[in-house]
Amino acid sequence: MEAENVIETPAAVETEGGKLARPSDVLPGLLHILPVANRPFFPAQMVPLVVDREPWQRTLEAAVEAGQQYVGLVLIRGDDPQTAGPDDFYTMGTASRIHKVVQLDDKLQIFVEGMQRFRIESWVSRERPFVVRAQYFPETSYKDMPELKAYTVAVINTIKELLPLNPLYGEELKYFLNRFGPDDPARLADFAASLTTSDKQELQEVLEKTHIRERMEKVLVLLKKEVEVAKAQMQIHKNVEESMEKRQREFLLREQMKAIQKELGIAKDDRTAELDKFRTRLKDLTLPEEAQKRIDEEIEKMSVLEVGSPEYGVTRNYLDWLTQLPWGKYSKDKLDLKHARKVLDRDHDGLADVKDRIIEFLAVGAMKGEIAGSILLLVGPPGVGKTSVGRSIAQALGRKFYRFSLGGMRDEAEIKGHRRTYIGAMPGKFVQAIKDVGVANPVIMLDEIDKIGASYQGDPASALLEVLDPEQNVDFLDHYLDVRFDLSKVLFVSTANQLDTIPAALLDRMEIIRLSGYITSEKMAIAQHHLLPRQIEKAGLKPSQLKIETDAVREVIELYAREAGVRNLEKRLGQIMRKAVVKILNGTKPPIRVGVKNLEEYLGKPVFRPEKPQIGVGVVTGLAWTPLGGATLDVEATRVHQATRGFKLTGQLGDVMKESAEIAYSYISSHCKDYGAKADYFEKAFVHLHVPAGATPKDGPSAGVTMATALLSLARGRKIARPLAMTGEITLTGQVLPVGGIREKVIAARRVKINELILPEANRGDFEDLPAHIRKGIKTHFASHYQDVAKIVFPRKK
């Protein structure tokens, strides 16, 4: 329901002298106040004002009850009229006459006409309904101020500039001219201010200007701003329209051109153009019968499908993949062993055994005339050059190279593709690799194959079995392609840090080449030939600006970057480069010289201290293998007390290592007399065996001989007087069994300057296969039984 309350107001009032007065001349001294939030209300304005019924209906009723048809409209500083209090109102407002009030649900629509400016002199009621004592500022005649004419003309001319820019200004101007004339500067200024989109603070300043000249000046500034804004909006609108018209025109012209070309028989529609493109691609390819048949079927299907249908897009993408694969395209192999050796020597220092193994592999391919059906696995610690070796193999063969990482892969669809029924389906990584390289016999590197995962989405490692099997990958079937593709000519090179996490069935399909860690001399060569030039270039330096002594590089290797690879060594050299650049930019004259004495200035305190093997009763140095390379391991044994017999192990030992310790304890306890110790030594001795460092987990069987020797040293009360290290697994009968990681362990011994080793007899071949420069200067004993070990460690006195 809509209720109306119409207040009739006489047009004029008769005064005591019998003269008629205008309504604006008889405004009340006490005025009820209504708030406005967005912009101030000006005299001569007549607009509908909408307010909330609940808080302000009582104000309107109070004004009517007081015999008034007037309210004061005053701008508030905030944005919420409902919460406005006396302190939120500006002091200047507009006394307005109420013409009509319409109730609309919970709102009141008030039709008001601005009459005169007023200032709040004081508050009569500070609670709703607000009542103030008003001081009015009536407008006088300005005929005696001819200088105002220039301002009036300027305002009118500026309004004329606005009219072409926005048609709405014309309607408001007509409404104003119907009520007032252009020769009324006060009304003209207020009207001009109400036209603008200025913020409420600027408009309030206009309302508060009671001096007409100041008001006109302020209004002129606002009008000029409005003209600039309107011009900018018009230009933006014009640019948008021109752009749209240009596009529409181009679209129409293209459609007309297509229609003309079609009539003349010289144009093709989108579908025909796509089909011709696919047929053109197929001309240079040698497709197997199955693939050719599938492509023909799909082309036939695509030729009858509607261009806008979803099936059309699926078929088009499928044909796009099928026709971009290099069916029958192979690059020619460079089976030149001298060239291959040159490439490997150029890219890598050291790794002589690895290079020989790769040359042997290439030689077999040269003899056969092709390299096919081969899967290599490069195993070694991080930073030893596995990925770069794979890239060098591709360069030596003259083949395209593609690498992707299997680390963290959990979805078998990454290997064998998605079925085409899925939205966004794509082929697997192998098909993508073949498409990217453009030949069917690239070198594909599968990085981090030992870190492949498994999830509810499938087991990618199992999906790799087909890819990496030379008997199966000749007919590799990708789920997306759904036609068989021959991968048998691809040379697969995989990399891994360890073999434990690779499934046995997958490992069985690969030929393993081990890359062990580098010794100091090899790292020196790598640093001089590869790392230093690369870091100097990366830092923007010239070789003449930085001189690093050879001994300083050796110190970096031994005290800051002792890992098996060279990745951390390169980081340390990069750190030196950055410090040198800072010095040069701060004014130090090059060349910057880095030597052993000032190395700490660039790298800080050494991370590693020179290792010295421990010597003492019950202390023996062992050799261990870690994923980061070889390491020396001191095994300590001591007798705690003689109250009871016992045996305690510490050092975060794994289950296998604990069993090795127990075997060693049982063997030495039962053979004390045979090795020159008291037969009953362990009967009442509580023995504690510890393997530092306690925070590092350790496991494996290769410390059995070392632990047995530590226990024998304790029982005999004799220490090993010379630097000596050993490795090997021991059994309850004293047999010494072979262990792995011989190269890494020998390198670890050389690093700490231990030149005498005891190795299992069964590992003699592994030791002799090591490069001569690693074996040089190492005195090695081979033991098949622990008796051999005891004779070497504790020789009989002559």
What is the rounded CA–CA span in Å between residue 240 and residue 248? 12
Question: Residue 617 burial by CB count (10 A; 0-12/13-18/19+): exposed, middle or buried?
Answer: middle
C-alpha 91 chain-centroid distance: 57
Q: What is the DSSP code string of 128-144?
A: SSPEEEEEEE-----TT
Q: Does residue 702 have an active-site annotation?
A: yes
Instruction: Convert 442-457 into a string of H (helix), E (strand) and C (coil).
Output: CEEEEECHHHCCCECC
Q: What is the DSSP code string of 549-570?
A: -HHHHHHHHHHT--SSSSHHHH
CB 6 within 8 A of CB 105: no
Paired tokens of 515: 């890359």
Paired tokens of 705: 């001989």
What is the rounded CA–CA span in Å between residue 77 and residue 36? 9
What is the rounded CA–CA span in Å between residue 783 and residue 758? 7
Of 745, 753, 779, 791, which residue is the catalytic one? 745
Phi, psi of 689 (to 5 degrees): -115, 125
What is the rounded CA–CA span in Å between residue 414 and residue 321? 16
What is the rounded CA–CA span in Å between residue 630 and residue 514? 14
Paired tokens of 538: 């990366």
CB 498 within 8 A of CB 445: no
120 Cβ partners below 8 Å, 6+ apart?
33, 72, 74, 89, 91, 92, 93, 132, 133, 134
Of 462, 702, 753, 779, which residue is the catalytic one? 702
DSSP summary character for residue 470? T
What is the rounded CA–CA span in Å between residue 37 and residue 56? 14
Rounded to 5°, the CA angle 9-11-16 comes to 100
What is the rounded CA–CA span in Å between residue 686 and residue 682? 8
CB 439 within 8 A of CB 326: yes
Phi, psi of 251 (to 5 degrees): -60, -45
Q: Is 587 helix (H, G, I), strand (E, B) or coil?
A: coil
What are the Cα distances from residue 123, in Å, to 51, 85, 134, 290, 465?
22, 11, 9, 96, 91
DSSP summary character for residue 480? T
What is the rounded CA–CA span in Å between residue 47 and residue 172? 12
CB 440 within 8 A of CB 486: yes
CB 148 within 8 A of CB 216: yes
CB 206 within 8 A of CB 222: yes
Q: Is 402 helix (H, G, I), strand (E, B) or coil?
A: strand
Paired tokens of 712: 């024998």
Q: Does residue 303 have an active-site annotation?
A: no
Question: Residue 93 burial by CB count (10 A; 0-12/13-18/19+): exposed, middle or buried?
Answer: buried
Paired tokens of 646: 């016992």
Residue 687 forms beta bridges with which residues?
639, 647
CB 427 within 8 A of CB 318: no
Positive or negative: CA dihedral 239, 240, 242, 247: positive
What is the rounded CA–CA span in Å between residue 664 and residue 713? 13
CB 132 within 8 A of CB 30: yes
What is the rounded CA–CA span in Å between residue 739 and residue 745? 10
Closest alpha carbon to 393 in 435, 351, 448, 438: 351
Active site amino acids: 702, 745
